[in-house]
């Protein structure tokens, strides 16, 4: 029995990592927002690995924070361990990773949602959309509640027609035995939305009391206090280690003997899984010469004994999983608490979306997160905040926000999805970014805080602090340009200590800082100290000065890219009318409907000649308009 359940500006379907960011961003921008979740105890639930961040992903978390999102702040309150990765490498690829306390993360995030003004949190299963004249106008739940809204964001993750697979057992289910979303998927298909079948998997969990840690290697967190959010000031210093062990030939023998029993190897046609997160079966089949594979033991929280067995993702029958676990050193007597499984689900083919994450063919309807063919909490959250911003902007009559590839990994992620699509669950990698040196974790605030502030997602107080930091960096760089360092004994001693060649002639402090062996702290010892400079400013100066030449080169590339991004393609363009286009290019252009010539040039199958022809055609239209 359908009843009128109320009217909102924006409705968010789902409260996973994409949903919570979408709902919070929309509500904070001033849109009256409803968030519907299947199970309010599972808000921002982590169904797979208990960690957030890592290369590329960690930078995304900081970008979300700079835009005023919640993931960074929440994990900063809910980690059991924090590590900076790639510290031995360049600044562009360093990234934080936290081991999360899953229950705490849920608790913190739920509280944030409950306390958010303009946001209504409600339990419910959405079965259908209200579509009027081709425009999305709301949702209908299984209980008959019809909620009307100007914009709807679907963030249903892996729930759509989810199917759990383990050996020959298979049943319709969302992750962790939650109810799957069946009707919504069917109804999206009826609306003409193209879906694709993907799969992913998760490893078994074991009881910590039954692990012999003496046979494993400890993996502690960093001693240095650090966090994701630019607002975090208190850091959790009581950290819990992870542990490392390995599979061996016995493990591999068990897997080989039982390969036919694996749901993914039994011969049935299955969804496409990600290459970067292979099951243990995949690893052994594809890399059969490897004598061992790493297995990380990661606690799922402080107040639980469940340990995530990273590296043993599998869809083998439960009985075989017991055997596999017990073949691994340290896990000989381990008690499995939950078996691993593979899960298949429906995803929306993302080339159907505008870069705002709104569906091209159904105005008012947005999708974000794993439903768009990505994987990973961070990728989901990134899309969530952008969809939330754009859905709210649409309601509030504001300009849409589209980040380009030089502004953030978020821009890279969304541009890749909507321009190229994806054939497997998409994960961000640093190598997907062509301007990696510009997209660093240390400068996410410098890149995006202005945008967050403009949208009203960054507090006045935080913005003032940010402005101050920016100013300090510039002023201090200017000061270093003016200070001359002479080859005094004091200076030579400092240089020698740092393993740098001695100074022959006087040099500007700024130029001396460019030497790879030196940093701000060392230079600071031999010049008049500026006591007002905080650590993050010093770090910023170090990086900006040291890599100045490379950054400049990258910026020049960005300028060239931007010229093509600025060439907008009119939305009424008729690609069939452009005779010179190659057939493949024409088809792809009609499908993707790029907003700019720059975006068009990134579509595979659109070659430089097609781009030239497109430019000429657009210009022709422009001239024609002037003539009229």
Which residues contact another protein by CB under 8 A? 55-56, 85-86, 89-90, 92-93, 275-278, 283, 286-287, 290, 293-294, 296, 310-311, 429-432, 436-437, 516-517, 547, 550, 554, 560, 563-564, 578-580, 582, 601, 604, 608-609, 611-613, 615-617, 619-620, 623-624, 627
Task: Report in angstroms how near the CB of residue 490 gets to another protein at its nearest.
Answer: 24
Task: Report in angstroms how near the CB of residue 287 gets to another protein at its nearest.
Answer: 4
Between residues 209 and 563, which has the closer beta carbon with respect to another protein? 563
Between residues 372 and 601, which has the closer beta carbon with respect to another protein? 601
Between residues 77 and 436, which has the closer beta carbon with respect to another protein? 436
Nearest to 200 by CA among 409, 417, 371: 371
Between residues 107 and 514, which has the closer beta carbon with respect to another protein? 514
Between residues 48 and 153, which has the closer beta carbon with respect to another protein? 48
Strands (E), 349-423: 365-367
Nearest to 599 by CA among 416, 450, 463, 466: 416
Q: What are 128's strand-pairing partners?
A: 140
Task: Report in angstroms how near the CB of residue 319 gets to another protein at its nearest.
Answer: 24
Between residues 187 and 430, which has the closer beta carbon with respect to another protein? 430
Between residues 77 and 293, which has the closer beta carbon with respect to another protein? 293
Task: Report in angstroms how near the CB of residue 376 gets to another protein at its nearest.
Answer: 12
199-234 b/e (C-beta count within 10 Å ≥ 16 → b): bbbbbbbbebebbeeeebeeeebeeeeebbbbbbee
* 527 DSSP 8-state letter: S
Task: Report in angstroms how near the CB of residue 294 gets to another protein at its nearest.
Answer: 6
Please, which residues have CB within 8 angstroms of residue 242's CB and are 6 or more apart in sequence?
A: 81, 99, 219, 296, 297, 298, 299
Between residues 453 and 617, which has the closer beta carbon with respect to another protein? 617
Q: What are 436's strand-pairing partners?
A: none
Of the CA atoms within 13 Å of residue 449, those in its CB half-sphere come to: 20
Is residue 287 within a helix (H) or strand (E), and if so which, with residue range? none
Do the Cβ atoms of 280 and 247 come closer than 8 Å? yes
* 176 DSSP 8-state letter: G
Between residues 286 and 481, which has the closer beta carbon with respect to another protein? 286
Rg (CA), the chain: 26
Task: Report in angstroms how near the CB of residue 500 gets to another protein at its nearest.
Answer: 10
Q: What are 485's strand-pairing partners?
A: 507
Task: Report in angstroms how near the CB of residue 200 gets to another protein at its nearest.
Answer: 13
**Helices 583-592, 608-627: inter-axial angle, 10-degree rounding:** 60
Cα distance between residue 256 and residue 254, in whole Å: 6
Do the Cβ atoms of 313 and 340 come closer than 8 Å? yes
Instruction: State the residue for tokens 């509640």.
Output: 145
Record the tokens describing residue 524, joined without a space: 């600071």
User: Alpha carbon 482 to chain centroid distance?
Assistant: 41
Between residues 400 and 621, which has the closer beta carbon with respect to another protein? 621
Task: Report in angstroms how near the CB of residue 422 gets to another protein at its nearest.
Answer: 10
Record the tokens describing residue 34, joined without a space: 């409803």
Task: Report in angstroms how near the CB of residue 427 gets to another protein at its nearest.
Answer: 9
């Amino acid at each position: 029995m359908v009843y009128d359940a109320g009217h909102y500006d924006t409705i968010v379907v789902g409260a996973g990592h994409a949903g919570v960011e979408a709902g919070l961003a929309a509500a904070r921008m001033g849109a009256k927002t409803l968030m519907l979740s299947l199970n309010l105890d599972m808000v921002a639930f982590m169904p797979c690995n208990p960690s957030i961040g890592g290369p590329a992903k960690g930078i995304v978390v900081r970008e979300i924070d700079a835009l005023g999102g919640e993931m960074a702040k929440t994990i900063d309150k809910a980690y059991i361990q924090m590590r900076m990765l790639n510290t031995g490498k360049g600044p562009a690829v360093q990234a934080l990773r936290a081991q999360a306390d899953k229950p705490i993360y849920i608790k913190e995030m739920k509280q944030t949602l409950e306390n958010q003004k303009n946001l209504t949190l409600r339990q419910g299963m959405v079965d259908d959309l209200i579509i009027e004249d081709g425009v999305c106008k709301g949702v209908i739940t299984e209980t008959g509640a019809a909620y009307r809204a100007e914009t709807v964001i679907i963030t249903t993750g892996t729930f759509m027609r989810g199917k759990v697979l383990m050996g020959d057992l298979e049943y319709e289910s969302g992750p962790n035995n939650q109810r799957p979303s069946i009707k919504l998927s069917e109804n999206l298909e009826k609306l003409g939305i193209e879906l694709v079948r993907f799969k992913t998997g998760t490893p078994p969990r074991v009881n910590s009391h039954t692990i012999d840690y003496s046979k494993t290697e400890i993996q502690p967190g960093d001693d240095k206090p650090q966090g994701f959010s630019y607002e975090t000031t208190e850091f959790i210093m009581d950290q819990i280690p992870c542990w490392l062990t390995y599979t061996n030939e016995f493990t591999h023998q068990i897997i080989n003997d039982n390969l036919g029993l694996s749901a993914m190897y039994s011969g049935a046609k299955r969804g496409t899984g990600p290459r970067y997160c292979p099951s243990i079966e995949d690893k052994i089949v594809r890399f059969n010469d490897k004598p061992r594979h790493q297995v990380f033991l990661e606690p799922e929280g402080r107040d639980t004994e469940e340990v995530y067995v990273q590296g043993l993702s599998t869809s083998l029958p439960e009985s075989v999983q017991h055997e596999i676990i017990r073949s691994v050193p340290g896990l000989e007597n381990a008690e499995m608490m939950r078996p691993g499984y593979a899960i298949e689900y429906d995803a929306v083919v993302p080339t159907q979306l505008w870069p705002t994450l709104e569906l091209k063919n159904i105005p008012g309807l947005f999708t974000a997160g794993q439903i768009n063919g990505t994987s990973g909490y961070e990728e989901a959250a990134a899309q969530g905040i952008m969809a939330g911003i754009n859905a709210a902007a649409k309601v509030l009559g504001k300009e849409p926000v589209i980040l380009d590839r030089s502004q953030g990994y978020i821009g890279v992620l969304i541009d890749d999805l909507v321009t190229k699509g994806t054939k497997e669950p998409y994960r961000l990698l640093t190598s997907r970014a062509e301007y990696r040196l510009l997209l660093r974790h240390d400068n996410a605030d410098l890149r995006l805080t202005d945008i967050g502030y403009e949208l009203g997602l960054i507090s006045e107080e935080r913005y003032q602090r940010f402005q101050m930091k920016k100013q300090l960096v510039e002023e201090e760089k200017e000061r270093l340009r003016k200070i001359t360092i002479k080859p005094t004994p004091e200076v030579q001693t400092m240089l020698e200590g740092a393993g740098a060649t001695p100074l022959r002639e006087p040099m500007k402090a700024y130029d001396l800082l460019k030497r790879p062996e030196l940093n701000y702290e060392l230079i600071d010892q031999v010049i008049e100290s500026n006591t007002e400079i905080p650590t993050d400013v010093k770090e910023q100066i170090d990086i900006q000065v040291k890599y100045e030449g490379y950054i400049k080169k990258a910026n020049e590339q960005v300028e060239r890219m931007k010229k093509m991004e600025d060439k907008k393609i009119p939305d009424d363009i008729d690609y069939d009318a452009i005779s010179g286009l190659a057939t493949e290019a024409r088809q792809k252009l009609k499908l993707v409907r790029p907003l700019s010539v720059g975006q068009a040039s990134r579509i595979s199958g659109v070659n430089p000649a097609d781009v030239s022809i497109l430019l000429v055609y657009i210009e022709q239209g422009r001239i024609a308009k002037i003539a009229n």
